[in-house]
Amino acid sequence: MTDGKTSAHDTTNDAEGRLREGYDSVRETASKVYHDAGDKAAEVLDASRETAKRTVQSLESNPLGILVGGLAVGVLAGALLPRSAREKELLAPVGKRLGETFVAATAAAKAAGQSELGELGLTKDNARDQAKGLLEGVVKALTTAGSAGAKAVSQKPAA
pLDDT tens digits, one per residue of 1-33: 556 667 777 788 888 888 888 888 888 988 898
Give how many domains the chain has, as a whole number.
2
Q: Is the pLDDT of residue 105 over 90?
A: yes
114 lies in the same domain as 49:
no
What average pLDDT score do residues 115-124 get? 80
Please indicate, yes or no, whether residues 10 and 32 belong to a single structural domain of this protein: yes
Average pLDDT of the residues of the chain? 84
Residue 97 CA to residue 91 CA, distance in Å, equals 10
102 shares a domain with 67: no
How many CA atoms lie less than 13 Å away from 13 in the CB half-sphere? 6
DSSP letter at 155 equals S
> Within this chain, do residues 77 and 90 fall inside the same structural domain, yes or no?
no
What is the average per-residue pLDDT within 113-122? 81
Q: Calculate what percentage of the chain has a pLDDT beyond 70.
A: 94
Query: Does some domain include residue 29?
Result: yes
Residue 106: predicted pLDDT: 92
With a threshold of 0.85, does the pTM exceed it? no
> Is 98 a member of any domain?
yes
What is the average per-residue pLDDT within 77-96? 84
Q: How far apart are CA 50 and CA 42, in angstroms?
A: 12
Torsion of CA 31, 33, 39, 42, to 10 degrees: -110
User: Does an H or E element contain 141, and which?
Assistant: helix 124-154
Residues 14 and 72 in one domain: yes
List, for residues 69-80, the tens digit of each pLDDT value.
Answer: 888 988 888 888
Task: Kindly state whether residue 155 falls inside one of the protein's structural domains.
Answer: no
| Coil, strand or helix at 44 | helix
Whether the predicted pLDDT of 115 surpasses 90? no
Residue 112, domain extent: 86-145
**Cβ 66 vs Cβ 59: under 8 Å:** yes
